[in-house]
Amino acid sequence: MTMTLSQDAKAGAPAEPLLVVKDVTKTFITRQWLLSSGRAPVRAVDGISLELKQGETLGLVGETGSGKSTLGRLMLRLVDPTSGTIRFDGQDITRLSLTGVRRMRSRMQMVFQDPFGSLDPRMTVRSLVIEPMIVHGYPRGEIPGRAEAVMRQVGLDPRFADRYPHQFSGGQRQRIGIARAMVLDPKLLVLDEPVSALDVSIQAQILNLLREIQRRTNIAYLFIAHDLAVVRHVSDRVAVMYLGRIIEIGPRDAIYESPHHPYTISLLSAVPIPDPARERTRKRVALHGEIGSGNAVPAGCRFHPRCFRARLIAAKGAVPTTAAAGTTLPVACVAQVPELTPVGNGHSAACHFPEKVGISAN
């Protein structure tokens, strides 16, 4: 979507991006109630910085426990950051008061994964769609017309406005969720796994709808999903998270065609392609072990216990090594946290050895 460029040009001044996140950290305190001896802080999101422009889609991928959903909730101030700043639409929203947050949320909305659990079953579609407008003090006289227009835009027949959510299919319910988010004409939509609960034949309907809405309204999307093929389809840029940090970020094609971080490489190689001939020849990069949890984050690079590249580099013997994770690894990987560093145009990776060593994704 080249739209963003022309939009910025139109605005004249080199306006700041719609969303600017700087060094945001969120620490949760867990009570270990069984052994009530101590509290272990969990760093769900650890020092994340990113930007999002108007009309742009940033895909956020990562496995369970990577912190991608927490990051989405931080943007909307559904959870408060422990440290760092979030600027949205030219305003620091990090320490906004409750009323300030409420006003801000009319411009920033969220669509949830579960179209079954996120809609009040006792409300009709009409009341679900007009509720956000009432909450945000939309001019009364304009509400019915706006509700009907948005329902049409998301492909809901306004004749069914008096029905209840349970009378709709999963795909239709997700349309209701999108209509609720869109009635206030927000500038940013945080979409948390918006199609993963839907039947495969329905996903394309919703993905096409989201694309069409974006073309028309120039809205920005933060698209959170674990399905890498879906994220590739919708995103302009992609950020990959691992245990609370962004480990690689860049333009979509750079991430998918020349990933630099070993985690991104193994993630992509794990996604099967529906082409039997290609699957037979495709190399797979196996990871060691499983993703850890946020309360026992490995020192140094948090990916080092599972990293194939660190093992390869240590085996080559050109760098100082040490015994770690039951094998021999470069000292840097075990001792030093790698920062995101540029590896290409707008493309950064947080790896001590970002040059592509060993195995590629395809």
Binding stretches for another protein (CB under 8 A): 63-64, 169, 171, 199-205, 207-208, 226, 228-230, 232-233, 252-253, 256, 266-268, 270-280, 284, 286-287, 289-291
Give the nearest distance from C-beta 143 to another protein in angstroms. Answer: 30
Residues 6+ apart with CB under 8 A from 227: 195, 196
225-238 residues labelled b (16+ CB within 10 A) or e (exposed): bbebebbbbbbbbb
Class of residue 346 by CB neighbours under 10 A (exposed 0-12, middle 13-18, buried 19+): exposed
DSSP for 129-196 reads: HHHHHHHTT--GGGHHHHHHHHHHHTT--GGGTTS-GGGS-HHHHHHHHHHHHHTT--SEEEEESSST
Return the number of the residue (145 or 274) whose C-beta is nearest another protein: 274
Report the distance separating Cα 237 and Cα 57, nearest Å: 7
In angstroms, give the least distance from the CB of 314 to another protein: 21
Rounded to 10 deg, the angle between the 143-153 and 170-182 helix axes is 130
Which residue's CB is nearer to another protein, number 11 or number 273? 273
User: Angle at CA 190, nearest 5°, toward 186 and 194?
Assistant: 120
**Shortest CB 267 distance to another protein, Å:** 6
Phi, psi of 190 (to 5 degrees): -95, 115
Give me the least distance between CB of 276 and another protein, in Å please: 5
Query: Quick one: tokens of 205?
Result: 């309907």
Residue 228 CA from chain centroid, whole number? 11
Cβ-based nearer residue to another protein, 62 or 300: 62
- CB count within 10 Å of CB 90 equals 10
Report d(CA 247, CA 351) in Å as an integer: 8
Between 169 and 336, CB nearer to another protein: 169
CB of 282 to another protein, least distance (A): 8
CB of 59 or CB of 84, closer to another protein: 59
Q: Which is nearer to another protein, 171 or 244 (CB)?
A: 171
For another protein, the closer CB: 20 or 207: 207
Please report, to the nearest 10 degrees, the dihedral formed by the alpha carbons of residues 13, 85, 67, 210 taken in order.
-30
Q: How far is the CB of 197 from another protein (least distance, A)?
A: 10
Residue number with CB closer to another protein (205 or 360): 205
| Minimum CB distance to another protein, residue 292 (Å) | 10
Q: How far is the CB of 347 from another protein (least distance, A)?
A: 16
